Amino acid sequence: MTQWAHLHRRSILFALSLFAMAGFFVIYSTPVSLFPQVTFPRVVVNLNAGDMPAERMAVQVTWPVEEAVRAVPGVSTVRSSTSRGSADIAINFKWGEDMVSSMLQVASAINQIRSTLPANLAFTVKRMDPTVFPVLGYSLVSAKHSLVELRDMALYQIRPILSAIPGVAKVDVLGGAVAEYQVLVDPARINALGLNLNDIAGALSAANVIQAVGKLEQNYRLYLLLANTQLQNSEQISQTILRSGQNGLVFLEDVAQVVKTTAPQWQRITADGRDAVLFQINQQPGSSTVEIAHHAQTQLKLIEQKLPADIKIAKWYDQSDLIVASALSVREALLIGLGLAIVTLLVFLRNIKVTLIAAITVPMALSATVLIINFLGLSFNIMTLGGMAAAVALIIDDAIVMIEHIIRRMREASGTYLERIHLAANEFSKPLMGSSASTIIIFAPLAFLSGVSGSFFKALSITMASALFISFIIAWLAVPLLAAYTLTQKDTEQEENGRMTRWFHHQYQRLLQSLLPRPWLVLLGLLPLLAAGFFSWQQTGSGFMPSMDEGGFILDYRAAPGTSVSETDRLLRQVETILRQIPEVETYSRRTGNSLGGHITEANEGDFFIRLTPLPRRSLDEVMDDVRDQVSAQVPGLEIELAKLMEDLIGDLTAVPQPIEVKLYANDGELLAQLATKVALELEKIPGVVDLNNGVIPAGDALNIRVLRDKAALEGLSPDAVKQTLNNYLAGTITTQIQEGPKMVNLRVWIPENERSTMNAMQHLRIRAPDGHWVPLKRIAEITPENGQAQISRDNLKRMVAVTARISGRDMGSTVADVITTLDQPGMLTHDVYYVLGGLYEQQRIAFHDLMIVFIAAIALVFILLLYLYEHFHVALSMMLTTLSAVAAVFIGLWLSNIELNITAMMGMTMVIGIVTEVSIFYYSEYQSLADSETGIQRMITAGNNRMRPIAMTTVAAILALMPLAVGIGAGSEMLQPLAVAIVSGLIVQMPLVLILLPALLRIFSNMIGESNVILEQ
């Protein structure tokens, strides 16, 4: 602390206090979410061309669109899947691209070739980000009200209110039934009258009109003239006039029955075993999930009071539950860790004033960090909150070493009371700056980290770097000023070294006096640590993101291709029975023909969202394995795939949610299908591989109605006329709409179900020729069954089939190694087929590659810092080797804790570099400050004895502060547990490494560079 700081002590302390208070007040305005806001560089194009065969769809639609979007700047990969009449194209861009601009460019590229595509083609373009998935989900069920009424309530009463909540992007309504008027025409009667369905549809459309026909000015007023013949109900529809003439009027009721029913639907939505309407809320980017959930719950309570008593609103998903639980867990971990650290300081320092000075720096630094987080537009999430909890150990470090040095100088130095504090602060400024810089600069390379890991850990690194910078400012300026205000001469008279401390000093002196004359012995003693670290590295599995117990999971299912909705529903009722018998299952919702993200699927597939009871209970993995085993054994004919929420979310946003994906490439589609089945059967034998999917996805069977052109021509019919008539018969014609309050109800002209429900009935459908005679369909067409066509997949314009699987009970690295071994067996693949691994393993590989670059860059930056501080290569190299030796302990800690080496653990390993370097700087700075009169070995011993207590204090305090995170207390702790375990493991060995290994390395390098004396250059 300089004289300047003392002169401005009031303004400095006031500014720091104001900064901390401002951070406290912005806590309530900072948005709260589960994860940092991530912009995923992915755009998805959905193409729909009716019922075009898959092969033709691929050639005529998918491939031209692929080539068009491939030219958009920034595109890295293009992947497509084509089935009958539809195709999905996923375009991945480079990380960092402006995705709004990229999405618009994709849409523009498709529109440029629009004239070359089929006229009936419809397409949508959307960018993928976490907000496309709901954060809240509710169900609406009733014992008395129909599904039509429930859907209308959700659409027109509940959705407008929830949509008005700040931060809500949209409210999707799934399930229920859609009201519809159906005109069921008697074919025999219209045949007798010479009418067809088109005539009836035209008459209804003309009868239901409201249109302005002019204006009239009269009696000083202007009137709008409306021609209004709107139909209001079934009776009015029945009275529609179809024909008039000499024989009288022909009304619709003469040839048809008008009924109010529901539209045909190929979906089924349930909640807790009952047909239901689901409404789910998506949030806007940057909004607070917790605030949205709070407002939604408040509004729904008010709405429920106004609904009939038999209508129940139940919550089946609430992301804010996990967020709040995780935040509480992190807060508890922070408070417990801080409390343990304070107790440690009190035990070591035995002075309440000094302990309070050190302890007060933590809330000041964290509160100021919140202000920075808010200013940068970040949210409270599992990464920022965890970063603050992990930073407690390092924040209290700075205060401890500064206050300890001040007290030591107050005891030893001469001069006035204030001069001794000035001296201590000035002496310690350089070591404090160097040590703080060593922990802060390791976060600099993370700014260049891309991908999922970069998006997640940038928030963590910004939080910790901010906290450490504020901590340095407080330790550098505030701690000396507070010491000057609070400490007295009495505080310096307390005995510094107790009996135990003196015993440790004596033992340390004996050890170094015997080792430093032969420093190579220390290296021999280091070998067991390095060997144990190497062994642990080999035994430690690898993974991508830490596995979290999020209180729920997704169960995707698929019945056999072509399975009807009713048969699929029958199978799923058995699954629901299993779920209700599992005690940990609290509630669930099910979508058939739809998905959690709101995407329409085939009628034989869909998903469950299963919510578990709060902890304590069986682990999420155990429950998932139990569900998987029971469903596989008791519900044959149903393929299932279970996924955790975060894993499924990240996987969907990055194109492939499965950890294992084997992409097989060849030009021959039939060969790919055969090899995919073969590969899937072999992978199924690998332990830990579950939920296998061979990637061959056939569509359901079809009835092919082939018009015989010559026979149709003889009857005066064209194939197009036959197709149009069949469409009217079999699908019906929506001819007009009737308004009922806030909604429009379709009016469909159709024939009775018994006339179209079987193949035999279809053969006898009568088609009217232009000259008025009627022709049965079987006379001019052949109806033959046709097997479903397999989905056609391409990756970067190359034909591909992806075999996917999930992992249970094993780490990803060893499992994928077994997969590679299996695939590389002789005869597994033919010479013209090759494979590439994708899925989450590919994301892990990219993340590990980037993190290794970050790790190396952090080492380089720390080495440059050390070289700048001391301008001796041998000093910087000695410190760097000491620091790197601590990495061995990280692998030992991960192995003993049974934690995978994932991106969170690698982040912790990188932080260990800065933490151990920080302590090394304190040791060597102490060594430099000692008088030159001491011999080299004695000088090292004295430096070690002087730094032993502060190193012990900071180490124990840091370990205890991190211990709640390391043991994984509470919800969401799994995300940061590997980081905490890695840091704690490094902290455990930092004291012996710095106090024993560092002096030995300094001696070795000093001798190697040929110094004649053992006193190192200053």
Give the DSSP letter string of 599-625.
----TTEEEEEEEEPPSSSS-HHHHHH
Q: Which residues in 607-634 are b (16+ Cβ under 10 Å) and which e? A: bbbbbbeeeeebebeebbbebbebbeee
Mapping DSSP to helix (H, G, I), strand (E, B) and coil, where does residue 87 land?
Answer: strand
- Domains 42-127 and 351-489 alike in fold: no
* Closest to 608 in 3D by CA, of 982, 1012, 232, 278: 278
Q: How is residue 547 annotated by DSSP?
A: P
Give one word for 681, left, alpha or beta, with left for phi > 0 and alpha for psi -120 to 50: alpha
Q: What angle separates helix 352-375 from helix 319-349, to the nearest 10 degrees?
A: 150
Average pLDDT over residues 539-547: 78
Whole-structure pTM value: 0.80
Which position has the token pair 């959705």?
159
CB within 8 Å of 1013: residues ≥ 6 apart: 936
Average pLDDT over residues 16-38: 81
**Within 13 A of 241's CA, how many CA atoms are on the CB side?**
6
Share of the chain above pLDDT 70, in %: 94
Integer Cα distance of 526 and 503 in angstroms:
24
| Residue 1017 confidence (pLDDT) | 44
Average pLDDT over residues 541-548: 76
Q: How is residue 496 annotated by DSSP?
A: S
Fold of 351-489: Multidrug efflux transporter AcrB transmembrane fold (1.20.1640)
Other residues' Cβ atoms within 10 Å of the Cβ of residue 39: 17
Q: Which amino acid is at 327?
A: A
Check pLDDT > 50 for residue 172: yes
Check pLDDT > 70 for residue 174: yes
**No. of H helices and E strands in the chain?**
35, 31
* Closest to 747 in 3D by CA, of 761, 734, 730, 729: 734
Average pLDDT over residues 721-745: 89
Q: How is residue 252 annotated by DSSP?
A: G
Q: Which CATH superfamily is domain 498-539+872-1017 in?
A: Multidrug efflux transporter AcrB transmembrane domain (1.20.1640.10)
Average pLDDT over residues 819-845: 85
Among 441-455, 499-513, 877-891, the minimum mean pLDDT is found in 441-455
| Residue 1014 confidence (pLDDT) | 42
Q: What's domain 42-127's architecture?
A: 2-Layer Sandwich (3.30)
Average pLDDT over residues 787-801: 84
- Model confidence band, residue 933 (pLDDT cutoffs 50, 70, 90): low
| Residue 1016 confidence (pLDDT) | 44
Which position has the token pair 């959700």?
154
Integer Cα distance of 721 and 549 in angstroms:
59
CB within 8 Å of 518: residues ≥ 6 apart: none
Is pLDDT larger for residue 438 or for residue 7? 438
- Model confidence band, residue 1015 (pLDDT cutoffs 50, 70, 90): very low
Check pLDDT > 80 for residue 447: no
- Domains in the chain: boundaries: 42-127, 351-489, 498-539+872-1017
Is pLDDT larger for residue 959 or for residue 329? 959
| Residue 630 confidence (pLDDT) | 92
Among 277-286, 483-492, 775-784, 903-912, the minimum mean pLDDT is found in 483-492
Is pLDDT larger for residue 94 or for residue 548? 94
My answer on whether omega of the bond before 657 falls inside 30° of 0, hence cis, is no
| Residue 298 confidence (pLDDT) | 92
Tell me the two tokens of residue 709. 């052109």
Average pLDDT over residues 760-787: 86
| Residue 971 confidence (pLDDT) | 64
- Model confidence band, residue 496 (pLDDT cutoffs 50, 70, 90): low
Integer Cα distance of 646 and 649 in angstroms:
5
Compute the Cα dihedral for 301, 303, 307, 313 and give only its sign: negative
Is pLDDT larger for residue 3 or for residue 16? 16
Check pLDDT > 90 for residue 838: no
Check pLDDT > 70 for residue 364: yes
Q: What residues does 690 pair with on adjacent strands?
A: 806
Average pLDDT over residues 899-908: 84
- Model confidence band, residue 934 (pLDDT cutoffs 50, 70, 90): low
Check pLDDT > 50 for residue 1013: no
Share of the chain above pLDDT 90, in %: 17
Is pLDDT larger for residue 857 or for residue 699? 857
Residue 596: C-alpha distances to residues 134, 281, 554, 648, 652 (Å): 8, 11, 9, 11, 11
- Mean pLDDT, all residues of the chain: 84
Tell me the two tokens of residue 981. 């375990």
> C-alpha angle with apex 996: 995 to 998, nearest 5 degrees?
80
Q: What residues does 141 pair with on adjacent strands?
A: 312
Integer Cα distance of 811 and 899 in angstroms:
9
Check pLDDT > 70 for residue 654: no
- First vs last Cα of the chain: how many Å apart? 23
Average pLDDT over residues 867-881: 87
Give 374-430 pLDDT, tens digit per residue.
888 888 887 888 788 778 777 877 777 788 777 777 776 666 777 777 777 787 788
Integer Cα distance of 982 and 916 in angstroms:
12
* Closest to 965 in 3D by CA, of 904, 882, 1017, 1014: 904
Q: Do 577 and 517 meet the contact criterion of CB atoms below 8 Å apart?
A: no
| Residue 67 confidence (pLDDT) | 92
| Residue 931 confidence (pLDDT) | 63
| Residue 509 confidence (pLDDT) | 86
Give one word for 768, left, alpha or beta, with left for phi > 0 and alpha for psi -120 to 50: beta
| Residue 3 confidence (pLDDT) | 67
